[in-house]
């Protein structure tokens, strides 16, 4: 039996370029791993089967569309294993369809768990390539820390970061579909008359002020540099998120933004004490289903010993 623990992410910068011919968008995506973890436990079994526990377990598909199952099959195929055998049990704490890459995290964890269970010893470089086949956010879940993702988010470069930053995550009722949020971003750009394809939108770049704030361990500077090009689209599809963002800011957060494609909202705060206070105020406001104080960066997926 092998258990892998894997973190959620927030995007401290999510610069979205134009729509590409392949249906993806070029990104300047600064991933930041936070201490909100799923666990995936792999045990020997016949075929590939899944189970899930946690408050959102009913929302997790347990068929072959689940990234954890796809990861097991992809790893087996890569090594020419005819009959992959594993049961994967997911202990879910990362919000489902929440913009925190929970499904991607489970895919990354399953790659690592199956690799250990089957004794394959796949090099990290190969696992990162397989992860990129599974989805744009899966490689980062293996890497953790803070990293710049280029291309559709899968070409990663680890970034220097000092110290610990404190966060609160406000979980919404119900998820948002990532493709739907990207489509809404395109639609809003089209409506604004700026165009939305690669030809119209310049390829985004990492923000130098944001990278400096991370390297300096300066939460106030980071708060001023947080940016998410998908936020307007997430707010357009879920206008109530504006109330959630406002509730956190009024409670004393340094900054508020939608996490990835949403609907989870992220609040950067100055320390652990502020995180507890902002989480309590968010819960009391009724503007979210749950509020989790946490911190980061933390390492990527790892086998629990
Ligand atoms: O890579 P992943 O399967 O997570 O992407 C899900 C969907 O999100 C894609 O099919 C696409 O619609 C959208 N997406 C995008 N540009 C990216 C990443 C994802 O348009 N860079």
- Ligand 1 neighbour 21 (Cβ under 6 A): no
Q: What percent of the chain has pLDDT over 70?
A: 100
The two tokens of residue 275 are 């995180």
Domain count, the chain: 2
pLDDT band at 268 (very low <50, low <70, confident <90, very high): very high
Q: Whose CA is nearest to atom 14 of ligand 1?
A: 24
Q: Is the CB of 182 under 6 A from ligand 1?
A: yes
Residues 189 and 118 in one domain: no
| 43 token code pair | 């045990």
The enclosing domain of 46 has a CATH number of 3.30.230.10
Helix (H, G, I), strand (E, B) or coil at 54: coil
CA–CA separation, 269 vs 168, rounded Å?
A: 7
Annotated binding residue 99: yes
| 116, 68: one domain | yes
* pLDDT computed for residue 83 by the predictor: 85
Same-domain status, 122 and 185: no
* 137 Cβ closer than 6 Å to some ligand 1 atom: yes
- Give the Å distance between the CA of 252 and the centre of ligand 1: 33
pLDDT of residue 22 exceeding 90, the answer is yes
Q: What are phi and psi of 187, to 5 degrees?
A: -65, -40
3-state class (DSSP) for residue 10: strand
Q: Where are the beta strands (DSSP E) in 133-230?
A: 146-150, 155-158, 165-171, 227-228
Average pLDDT for 66-78: 98
CATH of the domain at 220: 3.30.70.890
What number is the average pLDDT over the span 62-86?
A: 96
Find the 181 Cα to ligand 1 centroid distance in Å: 10
Question: Alpha-carbon distance 249 to 272, whole Å?
Answer: 16
Give yes or no: residues 135 and 248 share one domain.
Answer: no
Residue 95 binned pLDDT confidence (cut-offs 50, 70, 90): very high
Same structural domain, 149 and 195: no
Give the Cα separation of 175 and 83 in Å (integer).
Answer: 34
* Whether residue 104 sits in one domain with residue 40: yes
The verdict on whether residue 103 carries a ligand-binding annotation is yes
Does the annotation place 97 within a ligand binding site? yes
Q: What is the pLDDT of residues 193-233, one digit of tens each?
A: 999 999 999 999 999 999 999 999 999 999 999 999 999 99
Residues 68 and 187 in one domain: no
Which pLDDT band, with edges at 50, 70 and 90, does 86 fall under? Answer: very high
At residue 57, does pLDDT exceed 90?
yes
For 120-153, give the DSSP string: ----HHHHHHHHHHH-TTHHHHHHBSEEEEETTT
Confidence of residue 169 (pLDDT cuts 50, 70, 90): very high
pLDDT of 54: 96
How far is Cα 114 from Cα 43, in angstroms, rounded to an integer? Answer: 9
ipTM: 0.97
Please tell me whether residues 193 and 286 are part of one structural domain.
yes
Which atom of ligand 1 is the closest one to the Cα of 182? 20
Kindly report the protein residue whose alpha carbon is nearest to atom 7 of ligand 1: 179
Range of the domain at 122: 2-160+299-303
Rounded Cα distance between 7 and 145, Å, is 10
Q: Positive or negative, the Cα torsion across 151, 156, 161, 167?
A: positive
Distances (CA, A) of 170 to 9, 25, 133, 167: 14, 27, 30, 10
Token pair of 258 as six digits: 């939608």
Is the pLDDT score of 82 beyond 90? no
Average pLDDT over residues 231-254: 98
Q: Determine if residue 131 is labeled as part of a ligand binding site.
A: no
**Ligand 1 within 6 A of 178 CB?**
yes
How many CB atoms are closer than 10 A to CB 1?
11
pLDDT value, residue 305: 85
Q: Which residues are catalytic?
A: 9, 137
Q: What pLDDT, on a 0 to 100 scale, did the predictor assign at position 234?
A: 98
| Claim to verify: residue 240 and residue 289 sit in the same structural domain | yes
DSSP string, 241-268: HHHHHHHHHHTT-SEEEE-TTSSSEEEE
Task: Give the mean pLDDT of 269-295.
Answer: 97
State the closest ligand 1 atom to the C-alpha of 138, by its place in the atom list counted from 1.
4
The predicted pLDDT at position 228 comes to: 98
Record the pTM.
0.97
Contacts of 88 (CB under 8 A, 6+ apart): 40, 41, 42, 48, 49, 50, 51, 68, 69, 72, 110, 113, 114
Beta strands, E only, 20-136: 25-43, 48-53, 86-91
Cβ of 136 less than 6 Å from ligand 1:
yes
Q: Are residues 136 and 232 in the same domain?
A: no
Query: So what's the pLDDT on residue 119?
Result: 97
Tell me, yes or no, whether 129 and 198 share the same domain: no
Q: How confident is the model at residue 264 (pLDDT cuts 50, 70, 90)?
A: very high
Q: For 20, list phi and psi in degrees, rounded to 5.
A: -90, 165
Asked if residue 171 and residue 149 are part of one domain, the reply reads no
Residue 22: how many CB atoms within 10 A of its CB? 7
C-alpha–C-alpha distance, residues 231 and 208, integer Å: 21
């Amino acid at each position: 039996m092998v258990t892998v623990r894997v973190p959620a992410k927030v995007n401290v910068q999510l610069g979205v370029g134009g729509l590409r011919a392949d249906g993806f968008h070029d990104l300047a995506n600064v991933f930041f791993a936070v201490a909100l973890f799923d666990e995936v436990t792999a045990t020997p079994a016949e075929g590939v089967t899944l189970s899930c526990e946690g408050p959102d377990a009913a929302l997790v598909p347990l068929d072959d569309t689940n990234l954890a199952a796809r990861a097991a099959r992809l790893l087996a195929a890569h090594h020419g294993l005819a009959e992959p055998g594993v049961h994967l049990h997911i202990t879910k704490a990362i919000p489902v369809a929440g913009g925190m890459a929970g499904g991607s995290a489970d895919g990354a964890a399953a790659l690592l768990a199956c690799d250990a269970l089957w004794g394959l010893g796949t090099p990290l470089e190969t696992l990162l390539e397989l992860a990129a086949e599974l989805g744009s956010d899966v490689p980062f879940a293996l890497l953790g820390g803070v990293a710049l993702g280029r291309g559709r988010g899968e070409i990663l470069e680890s970034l220097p970061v000092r110290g610990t930053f404190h966060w609160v995550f406000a979980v919404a009722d119900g998820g948002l579909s990532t493709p739907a949020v990207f489509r809404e971003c395109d639609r809003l750009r089209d409506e604004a008359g700026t165009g939305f394809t690669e030809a119209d939108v310049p390829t985004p770049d990492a923000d130098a002020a944001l990278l400096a704030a991370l390297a300096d361990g300066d939460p106030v500077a980071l708060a001023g540099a947080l940016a998410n090009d998908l936020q307007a689209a997430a707010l357009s599809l879920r206008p109530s998120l504006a109330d959630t963002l406002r509730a956190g800011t009024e409670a004393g957060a340094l900054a508020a933004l939608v996490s990835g494609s949403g609907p989870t909202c992220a609040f950067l705060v100055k320390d652990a004490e502020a995180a507890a206070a902002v989480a309590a105020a968010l819960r009391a406001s009724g503007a979210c289903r749950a509020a989790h104080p946490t911190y980061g960066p933390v390492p990527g997926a790892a086998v629990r010993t």
